[in-house]
Amino acid sequence: MKGREHLVRNEVRILQKVSKGHRHIVTLHEYFETPNSLYLVMDLCTGGELFEWIMKKGTFYEEDAAEIIRTVADCVAYLHEQNVVHRDIKPENLLFRSQDSLSELMITDFGLSKTLDPENSDLLLKSTVGTPGYMAPEILRKQGHGKPVDMWAIGVMTYFLLCGYFPFSVGAGAGSDFNAGVDRVLRAEFAFEPKEYWLDISNECEWIDFLQAKDFISRLIRLDPEERMTAADALKHPWMGFAPIVGDGGVTVGGRVRTIDLLPNVGRQFSKKQSTLRKTGTANSTQAAPGTLDGMEVGEAVNEQGALMVQA
């Protein structure tokens, strides 16, 4: 905790404001401080991180991804109503109270979150924080940022959950691949590839061709923050499952269309990413990760989960 006390205190302030207002946000029940330590009493989450939950479940369908993203978008909509920007939305910050079901999903880790000035909601945040791969272009460009950065991150996470790859290959290391990945982020340049991973994602059935995950992602991963869907807009998107499905004979039925199990295709990527994050996390907890973003030293203050905490 040494050197990061301000993050813990910030998390306490944010959770005091929002944690009891939404059932999928981890609750801060109490906190107390001693001369050497600060103790937070929070929900006990024994179901593990999202990646662990998926692998233990043994199957993973597009419907599961949609439910996960719908829960996250609902949490973010509530946070944004409270003028709170999370700024580190990613699968590693999603925990489960238990292994039972997706209804036990919780959003956690508010150390990088920030409350916007309610008297001047147009005032942008200036600090450069987030996790490489999920950081929006305006953060990297130091243009100032606000609520839309959370929506960009949801778009990136949706992409990853459906194919196991990032739309932008941006890690914490230096080199040409790192710089090329950053350049693609700055231009919001991505494609739905490898194509074979997207063949069975909802865009082939004639009566649900409007329920496209690709459309959902494309409305979030946009260069102009003003063009991205808000959290409220995202919840209304057909891919979220809110639109009724018309079955045989025009009968309206609930739920979503059955898809193939995505786990055989993406499971290897889940496992690989989980292993990589833990290895780099251990390294990053003791030393800086190399690399620069437009003159910003990347990894100068990287936490155990790879999140940047560099102040602009």
Task: Give 110's contacts (C-beta < 8 A, 6+ positions apart).
Answer: 10, 11, 14, 15, 18, 86
Q: Is 88 tagged catalytic?
A: yes
Q: Which residue out of 64, 74, 88, 150 is catalytically annotated?
A: 88
- What's the CA gap between 151 and 289, in Å, rounded? 26
Buried b / exposed e over 279-288, threshold 16 CB at 10 Å, is ebbeebeeee
Q: CA–CA separation, 70 vs 254, rounded Å?
A: 16
Annotate 168-194 with b (16+ C-beta within 10 A) or e (fewer).
Answer: bebbbeeeeebeebbebbbebebebee
Closest to 156 (Cα-Cα) out of 146, 169, 145: 169
Rounded CA separation 52/253 (Å): 32
CA distance linking residue 264 with residue 277, whole number of Å:
21
Please name the residue that has the structure tokens 């739309």.
Answer: 167
What distances in angstroms separate CA 154 from CA 5, 174, 291, one per listed residue?
Answer: 28, 25, 25
Closest CA relative to residue 312, chosen from 92, 139, 68 = 139
CA distance 83 to 30: 23
Q: With contact defined as beta carbons under 8 Å apart, do 162 and 65 qualify?
A: yes
Catalytic sites, residue numbers: 88
